[in-house]
Amino acid sequence: MAKVTRVKFKNGLRLIVVPREDSLTTTVAVLVAAGSKYESKETNGLSHFLEHMCFKGTEKRPRPIDIASELDAIGAQYNAFTSHEYTSYYAKVRNGAFRDAFGIVSDLYLNPIFRDEDIEIERGVIIEEINMYEDMPRRKIEEVFMELLYGDQPAGWSIAGPKENIRRFAREDFVEYREKNYLPESTVVVISGGVSPARAIAAVRKEFGAIGSGEKMKKPKVKESQKSPAEKVIVKKLEQTHLVLGVRAFGMHDKRRYALEVLAETLGGGMSSRLFKRVRDELGAAYYVKASADLLSDHGILSVAAGVDNKKARLVVKAVAEELRRMKTERIPEDELEKAKEHLVGDLFLSVETSDTLGYFYGTQEIMGEKLSSPNRVARAIRAVTAKDVQKVAKDVILNKNLNLAAIGPFKEKSFLDILRV
């Protein structure tokens, strides 16, 4: 892989070019700092709705079928997504179709038209998307967990927003929100794969060079407040209980991040992890069980998620709590530590094999305000973590007062607070 090129244009727009000579594909992506954490209660869901509307038509391509047909005709894989921190639009194509793909993705970002009739149609689409997720307990429980931790603030709200907001948004809402957020200084263009830096720079300068700056909307700082263990249990007739048990951590810029990732990997990062062996292999209580360290710009969580036998839910909660406690009280043996670190490094390198995942590896760092680090540099940071580092971060974050449990299942007046302790 050639050297990564970073360019900042006069209007504030940033470009990241990640060339790879042997790549058969090129990915073009636009990332903009406009996600649900930039919303108010009245505008919650607008970032995601706006993402949908950008695919409904532009000045040059006025119908959704015009956009889709052009992308399909060049053999593109394309989509968009909205997160808490940013929204992104992308297309992945054979190298020879790079310029066509870049023109289309740029057009989506720069020139949406927001017709009233399209907004009316898309309301129904998004409401059905919300309904779909309501019927997916494994996904729904993650939202419930975030709501439990952060409550009535952007970090605790659903990215899709409430249905009442979706039904109310009008054209002027999209126009105003876009004017305050879709600005060059809050936008990163990523071009990765079989393209030269010179060609990428020329394409970006042509499409984005004329857009002007503005005053970017600020996102409120996340408020952290918890004095005792908390739970949110939703009663629903299901074949299994879905639960997330976790604690508050810290933001992604914290120097302890890699120690926390190794901790999560040790707990539940693979089929030889502690929780996989304990909950699946020994208790036979779950098909999926995983642990993760999810760190955002100014807050983060360490959590364990599982789908378990309804009759064994309490047993699993106890087992997870015991394994969390062990991370504080016992230092990881060196062989287990090395295995966890090498599994993380292996996952990292496997995850950046294609032009799209490689591009987002660098683009996400840039949009989140991080200094660009190569996979090799991240691997060195992971391998530098010691057993002492892991135990220290465990003692820092795995605290009784910070414990939170969200669960969906067929409960009757069920509570887990009596066993929610580490």
SS3 assignment, position 133: helix
In this prediction, residue 334 carries a pLDDT of: 98
List domains and CATH numbers for the chain.
5-208 (3.30.830.10), 230-419 (3.30.830.10)
Question: Letter for the amino acid at 28?
Answer: V
Q: What value does the CA radius of gyration of the chain take, rounded to a whole number of Å?
A: 23
How far apart CA 320 and CA 248 sit, in angstroms, is 16
Name beta bridge partners: 27: 92, 192
State pTM to two decimals: 0.95
Please identify which residue in the block is written with the tokens 């249990």: 233
How far apart CA 20 and CA 175 sit, in angstroms, is 38
In this prediction, residue 212 carries a pLDDT of: 83
How far apart CA 328 and CA 272 sit, in angstroms, is 20
In this prediction, residue 347 carries a pLDDT of: 97
Residue 214 Cα distances to 53, 145, 208, angstroms: 22, 36, 15
| CA neighbor of 84 nearest in space, from 141, 142, 160, 25 | 160
Q: How many CB atoms lie within 10 A of CB 131?
A: 10
Q: Is 309 exposed, middle or buried (0-12, 13-18, 19+ CB in 10 A)?
A: middle
Q: What single string gives the DSSP state of each residue in 182-244? A: --GGGEEEEEEES--HHHHHHHHHHHHTTPPP--PPPPPPPP---SS-EEEEEE---SSEEEE
In this prediction, residue 413 carries a pLDDT of: 72
In this prediction, residue 298 carries a pLDDT of: 95
> Interior CA angle at 324 toward 314 and 340, to 5°?
125
pLDDT tens, residue order, the chain (422 aa): 669 999 999 999 999 999 999 999 999 999 999 999 999 999 999 999 999 999 999 999 999 999 999 999 999 999 999 999 999 999 999 999 999 999 999 999 999 999 999 999 999 999 999 999 999 999 999 999 999 999 999 999 999 999 999 999 999 999 999 999 999 999 999 999 999 999 999 999 999 988 888 888 889 999 999 999 999 999 999 999 999 999 999 999 999 999 999 999 999 999 999 999 999 999 999 999 999 999 999 999 999 999 999 999 999 999 999 999 999 999 999 999 999 999 999 999 999 999 999 999 999 999 999 999 999 999 999 999 999 999 999 999 999 999 999 999 998 778 999 999 99
Residue 144 Cα distances to 137, 151, 155, 238, angstroms: 10, 10, 12, 16
Query: How many residues comprise the chain?
Result: 422
Name beta bridge partners: 87: 32, 82
